[in-house]
Structure 1
Amino acid sequence: MTARKRFGIGKMLAALFVLLFAGVSVALAQAWDALGHSAEGARLVRMQASPQWHDGRFHNPQPLANDDLWKILVGAFHKSDDATPKQPVPVVLDKRSDFAVPPASGLRVTWLGHATTLVEIGGHALLIDPIWSDRASPVTWAGPKRWYAPPLALADLPPIDAVLISHDHYDHLDRATIVAMKGWTNKFIVPLGVGAHLAGWGIPEERIIELDWWESSKLPGLEIVAVPARHTSGRYLFDRDKTLWAGFAMIAANQRVYYSGDTGMTPQFADIGNRLGPFDLSLMQIGEYDEAWPDWHLNPEQAIQAQQMVKGKLMLPVHHGLLDLAYHSWTEPMDRALAAAEKAGVRMVIPRPGESIEPANAPDAAIAAHWWPSLPARASASGDKMAAQAMDESVKPSAKETQ
């Protein structure tokens, strides 16, 4: 090989190395920014004054029994073969014109998958925990990937008055979606400390409203109250519980909506119901549970109990149906919730992703159009036979449902 050829190959390899280094650098920079930003100054002082803050972080009134490493490892070997859909999930594709006319009843809710929900109430449009990225992750090439594209394009949303964010986990706070909203005019209503992430991503401080539990913010004719939840927060290894987590109550003149956020079972549900209920609709978390993290997320039966405690009239399950974040099948949360609701006489709707619901038009009985496939029940690693039996009773759709 001549010196000229060796020189040419060397230049080509050097160019490839430079391109690779540049690509890796950009990816690392994006991932670093997605990790979020820490609170400081007046924001940190306010956080430290919260009754939920001590010993350098936020705390729940009840301790969390979570992070059982052995059960996490064992559970991975018992993961359902149907944790991810094997067939396309039926989705209702929305467009901007679908929201041109306000709901006749004054309250309309459109579930867009996982926790992302559009709530139209009191003449306002609220967007909860918006995730439009392909993955719930700080990087675009790894992490839980959504099973279907957003049923509604971000640009096709009706004018949003406020974005509500329950906490800063990646499946609820998505940097790319937030950055896309920088040019909007909406407010961001978030728990204490979460505003540091938003400000770091370019959201003006005047658009950020941070709330402690039981604090509220008002729009004309609408009050939004941050309510307790039993959970945790953090976007990387060393920032756990440095920001607060919460649910929300949305209170208009004639209608009330409750959103649980991510939460485990807590007696504070009764406090919420007594202070702010009854609710015309509850957006209740039902999925991504496991015995390895029993206090991190409600299981479906607990969600039904929580619905009764908050004095909810109609329940719409959320936090399921989009991402693989646990070991159960993707249909199990719906099957178990439906069985428990029917047993308890709780009214419930389970819309397809993208489907809009007006609670005032919902029948009096517990209802759920069985749009998901019937999959075999699988007891948990601990032998949750009662839950499996309840699922077996619910996974077979009635003749009416299959027509």
Structure 2
Amino acid sequence: MKKSGNPYYSGPVSDHFDGIRFYNPGGTPPRGFADLLRWQSGGGREQWPRHYDSPFPQARPDTSVDGERLRVTMVGHATLLIQVAGLNILTDPVWSHRASPFTFAGPRRRNPPGILMDDLPRIDIVLVTHNHYDHLDLATLGSLHTKHAPHLVTPLGNDTIIRRAVAGAEITVVDWGDRLDLGDGVVIHAEPCHHWSARRSNDRRMALWAAFVIETPAGKIYHVGDTGFHDGINYRAAREKHGCFRLANLPFGSYEPRWFMASQHQNPEEAVLGMVACGAEYAAGHHWGTFRLTNEGVEEPLRALETALAKHGIDRNRFRALRPGEVFDVPLPPTARE
């Protein structure tokens, strides 16, 4: 039985849960309805093209990737196919046309998914970072369950939302700091990020949000679905706990206007600073170019990312801004090649 006032989760009070709502320790809560109206009525939103097609064809992934290889294929927005250690892992899978509770309104795709649903390899694991509609898509999860019956991993409370729509799904529910040992040297860790959650107007912060660390024999992967920079606190903590990463999947879009978005969505320069702070050798940039959620133009994140990489002296090939269908075979870190 869920605690009165929270339809998704009932559990003990912690340093990030007050008994009803989750929160970011020492962080900034999401802005309220008045600020939302101020943003929406304030103008400044750049137009996007009706279609923003990828230069890459839709990918047809190999069945599996093993050994020292690590491959990431962009589906779109925050949906990535990670292939490593013989496992096929999807993050925040969204194949629907809209990131919305409605099929007729809300942000719509500006490009088709970079992999057709029917062309997916066997999906072993699905990571769902939080419950916003551009990350938790029940229609897609239902299709994946029917075709693949993957093991879902998601933070506290999100399982309730998923189970209502996807009967019989195998779900492991995690809190920050939890670990899930999958065997053969693969461990999934749930770690903090600075964000929030909501599916409707009256359930704000009632399900948890998280980043994930995927520990594998081929190296460690840091996957962040959405986050505000939060002075780099969570990036530094991830490095202190897990060491450096072969790859970090980092959001770098949907960030304007800063007065409204800074606490929930980092900008490209903050993504670059996060890459440095967590000790990632390479980064796969996502959360841009598919759904128009905020004010910046469709290619502004690319220009800002180029500027930030040059400013901080980082080779542009180390931070790849992925487009749908693009395949990134992540090189071994230099120390591993010796």
**TM-score calculated relative to the size of structure 2:** 0.88
Identify the match of residue 299 of structure 1 among 254, 267, 283: 267
State the SS of the aligned residue for 1:349: strand
Instruction: Decide whether aligned partners of structure 1 residues 72 and 123 sit closer, same or farther in structure 2, where only a CA change above 3 A counts.
Output: same
Aligned to 1:401: none
Q: Which residue in the other structure is 1:112 paired with?
A: 75
C-alpha distance in 2, partners of 1:279/1:213? 19
Deviation at 1:108, TM superposition (A): 0.2
1:217 equivalent in structure 2: 180
Distance 1:321 1:169 in 2: 17
Alignment of 1:54-69 (within 5 A): 54-64=18-28, 66-67=30-31, 69=34
Sequence identity, in percent?
A: 30
Contact kept, 8 Å, 1:126 with 1:162, in 2: the verdict is yes
**Hey, what's the Cα distance between the residues in 1 that align with 2:284 and 2:333?**
11
Higher relative contact order (CA 8 A, sep 6+): 2
Q: What SS does structure 2 have at the residue aligned with 1:54?
A: coil
Correspondence for 1:348:
319
8 A Cα contact 1:231 1:295, kept in partner: yes
| Contact kept? 2:98, 2:109, Cα under 8 Å | yes
For residue 350 of structure 1, report the CA deviation from its aligned partner. Answer: 2.0
Return the alpha-carbon distance in structure 1 between the equivalents of residues 95 and 28 of structure 2: 30
Could you tell me which residue of structure 1 aligns to residue 236 of structure 2?
270
Residue 286 (structure 1) aligns with: 252
Query: What runs of 5+ residues in structure 1 fail to find an aligned partner?
Result: 1-36, 364-403
**1:238–1:77 distance in 2 versus 1, CA, 3 Å:** closer
The SS at the match of 2:321 is coil
For residues 286 and 95 of structure 1, the distance between their equivalents in structure 2, rounded to whole angstroms, comes to: 23
Cα 1:166–1:262 change in 2 (3 A) is same
Aligned pairs for 1:179-218 within 5 A? 179-183=142-146, 184-204=148-168, 207-218=170-181
Aligned to 2:180, the other structure's residue is in SS state strand
SS in 2 for 1:195: helix
Alpha carbons 1:249, 1:258 under 8 Å: kept: yes
**Matching residue of 1:130:** 93
User: TM-score, normalised on structure 1?
Assistant: 0.74
Residue 248 (1) aligns with residue 219 (2)? no
Q: 1:101 to 1:168 in 2, by over 3 A?
A: closer
The one-letter amino acid paired with 2:280 is G
Corresponding residue to 1:73 among 27, 33, 38? 38
TM-aligned CA deviation for residue 293 of structure 1: 2.5
1:185 & 1:86 partners in 2: Cα distance?
A: 34
1:87 deviation in Å? 5.4
1:342-385 CA distance string (max 9 Å, x none): 2212331123211111111799xxxxxxxxxxxxxxxxxxxxxx
Gaps (5+ residues) in structure 2? 1-5
1:326 aligns with 2:290: no
Over 6 Å off, 4+ runs: none
Write the deviation string for residues 292-318 of structure 1: whole angstroms up to 9, x where unpaired.
232011111111111111111111111
Structure-to-structure mapping, 1:123-202, within 5 angstroms: 123-183=86-146, 184-202=148-166
Structure exhibiting the larger radius of gyration computed from Cα positions: 1
Question: 1:102–1:76: structure 2 CA closer, same or farther, 3 Å change rule?
Answer: same
Q: Whole-Å Cα distance in 2 between the matches of residues 75 and 200 of structure 1? A: 32
In the alignment, is the contact (CA less than 8 A) between 1:115 and 1:172 conserved in 2? Answer: yes
C-alpha displacement of 1:101:
5.7
The structure with the largest helix share of the pair is 1
Please state how far the C-alpha of 1:70 moved relative to its aligned partner.
5.1
